[in-house]
Chains A and B, each alone.
Chain A
Amino acid sequence: MILTDADLQAIGLTLRLASTVTVLLLLLGTPLAWWLARTSSWLKAPIGALVALPLVLPPTVLGFYLLVAMGPNGPLGQLTQSLGLGSLAFSFWGLVVGSIFYSLPFVVQPIQNSIEAMGARPLEIAATLGAGPIDRFFTVVVPLAKGGIITAAVLGFAHTIGEFGVVLMIGGNIPGETRVLSVQIYDHVEALEYGRAHWLAAGMLVFSFLTLLTLYVFQGRKRRSNALSFGG
């Protein structure tokens, strides 16, 4: 067997984390992207900048502050303790929370871009045809922003799989709980098990490349078939 049980456990954990985070991010990120695309509020710029922060911030900085927030005296820690959930730090759900922040821009921005590109006109048309707000969201926004939503899901998923710094800061290295793939590779290298590290690292490389390749092929085809959008 090329991969050890610990490797397989790390892979399973990583996939579970990335799936959970992607689902939650689509649920949270879509309304946020909608708001950012449509609002003329002065809050648009500061909120947009906050969302984009993980793009430029070292993951350790984000992880550090999340760790403090999740700690027994931090606001998140106080909240989870008062709800009887204990501490989030060094737990799977702590990783989920951290990853949501970390991958947020990768989900919000593509959706926001496609809603902005769609413009207000399709919604106005739907309204004049008798569609109410919720009807408009599902029959107009979702299908017209579909490309952005798929891109967001793929990027959010792939980015969460490759996460390292934040995990190490708030999750530590607990097998089956917080020891994800990137941490497992790090452990192999620390232990000078280069052969094992290679298998996992090469696997990640191939996975990431194939993911992006699929995405770009899909986007290219979509651009050609959707040459027409709303003119004027």
Chain B
Amino acid sequence: MKVSGIEAAFKLAYSAPIAGRKAPETNFALDVRLKLPGSGITGIYGTSGSGKTTLLRCIAGLLKADEGELKVNGEVWQDKRDMVPTHERSMAYVFQESSLFPHLTVGENLDYAIKRAAAVDKSFYAHILELMDIERLLQRSSDQLSGGEKQRVAIARAFLVRPKLLLMDEPLASLDAGRKQEILPYLERLHDEFDLPVLYVSHALDELARLADHLLVMHQGQVLADGSIEAVLSRTDLPVPLGDDTGVVLPATVVERDSQWHLVKVEFSGGSLWVRDSGDAIGNTLRIRVLARDVSLALSSHHDSSILNRIPVTVLDLTPDSDEAMVLVRLSAGQSILIARITRRSVAHLKLAPGNTLWAQIKSVAVVR
């Protein structure tokens, strides 16, 4: 079942100190004007206090902006004069912490959404329950669930609203790393199956690298970057230091399997890489992530190291890192861009300058999707 053809354009201006907010800035201002795709997952990334949750709350109508304009799929949700109240917006929201009603069982929590939604047929209900694997939890009360189960129920409940837009505010942030890994596959399944636009707020880049198609970077209430996740993560000019999270994501195709060493060869536009066998069939497309800290540079191709992956690259530009000792080097490999995070001393030693050709040695590649 598909929710098809939703085009969303958001225009939102908001500027006022927010009473009682925990943000470090006492004079917090949100000032954004954006157009977001009407399908797929748009990640909204930023550190705490960057205004990403505030933006989401404005879109949900939970927070009234001083000036707001919002159009979702041609429907006006807010303009200069009027604001459609939250409960009349065809939208669902997944909160960071457990948001199940404590006085209702799991099944009653789901019914709460169904009763107020446009008709939900039985097969859709059964399908969502199966996707999120919560059939056996229906009779439980919410305090008998683990953190991960609670979030799965909350996500299922959001889908049962039959929303035209799904807002998720750090849905995994309250879970430990293990629970997080437990939920991510469920989110991927939903993403693969429903063509529903999702705005996904997170301060965890690894989550977004895995889930998001589009990425918005927020800082001090403003949007710094906005584009496909590949494009945004290949930039080094953003004033938000990503530190160890700096790195690119690349679409790739599985071309060869080496069963003896449990590796598969994936091809991207800049060459091919050996990665750990993810079990994907030959011909499958997947997404790989190469962190800048895992990329080192050499003037010649060494075959005497443990590093499997060496790719010829050309230096595009060099940017000082937030860490004074480090430099971010952007490299072009075919149509793709890689980023290497190396010391300034190495830059001087290798006499790196834009246009140099050399070898990128990639220590580790993660298959994120």
A binds B: yes
8 Å CB contact of A143 from B60, B98, B103: B103
Q: Which residues from 6 to 36 on chain B have a C-beta closer than 8 Å to any C-beta of chain A?
A: 19
Residue A191, interface by CB 8 Å: no
Residue B143, interface by CB 8 Å: yes
8 Å CB contact of B99 from A121, A139, A146, A228: A121
Question: A232 to B117, alpha carbons, bound, how many Å?
Answer: 27
User: Contacting chain A: which of B83-91, B126-134, B210-218, B333-341?
Assistant: B83-91
Residue A231, interface by CB 8 Å: yes
Residue B112, interface by CB 8 Å: yes
Nearest A-chain residue to B63, judged by Cβ: A124
Residue A131, interface by CB 8 Å: yes
Nearest A-chain residue to B92, judged by Cβ: A128
Residues of A within 8 A of B19 (CB): 40
Contact, CB under 8 Å: B116 / A228:
no
Question: A52 to B117, alpha carbons, bound, how many Å?
Answer: 43
Question: A133 to B179, alpha carbons, bound, how many Å?
Answer: 35
Residue B50, interface by CB 8 Å: no
Contact, CB under 8 Å: A129 / B116:
yes
Contact, CB under 8 Å: A121 / B95:
yes
Residue B359, interface by CB 8 Å: no
Question: A231 to B87, alpha carbons, bound, how many Å?
Answer: 23
Which of A122, A129, A140, A144: most chain B CB closer than 10 A? A129
Contact, CB under 8 Å: B85 / A131:
no
Question: A80 to B96, alpha carbons, bound, how many Å?
Answer: 54
Residue B101, interface by CB 8 Å: yes
Contact, CB under 8 Å: A127 / B92:
no
Known: A127-B87, A143-B103, A231-B97. 18 other contacts (CB 8 A): A124-B93, A126-B87, A128-B60, A128-B158, A129-B87, A129-B92, A129-B116, A129-B161, A130-B113, A130-B116, A130-B161, A132-B88, A140-B101, A226-B102, A230-B98, A230-B102, A231-B174, A232-B174
Residues of A within 8 A of B112 (CB): 126, 129, 131, 139
Residue B151, interface by CB 8 Å: no
Residues of B within 8 A of A226 (CB): 102
Question: A67 to B210, alpha carbons, bound, how many Å?
Answer: 73
Binary per-residue interface labels of chain A (68-111) against chain B in the complex, 1 for a CB within 8 Å, 0 otherwise? 00000000000000000000000000000000000000000000
Residue B157, interface by CB 8 Å: yes
Q: How far is the CB of B202 from chain A (nearest CB, A)?
A: 16
Residue A229, interface by CB 8 Å: yes
Question: A94 to B102, alpha carbons, bound, how many Å?
Answer: 42
Q: What are 5 A-B pairs at a CB distance below 8 A? A: A128-B93, A132-B88, A135-B87, A146-B103, A230-B97
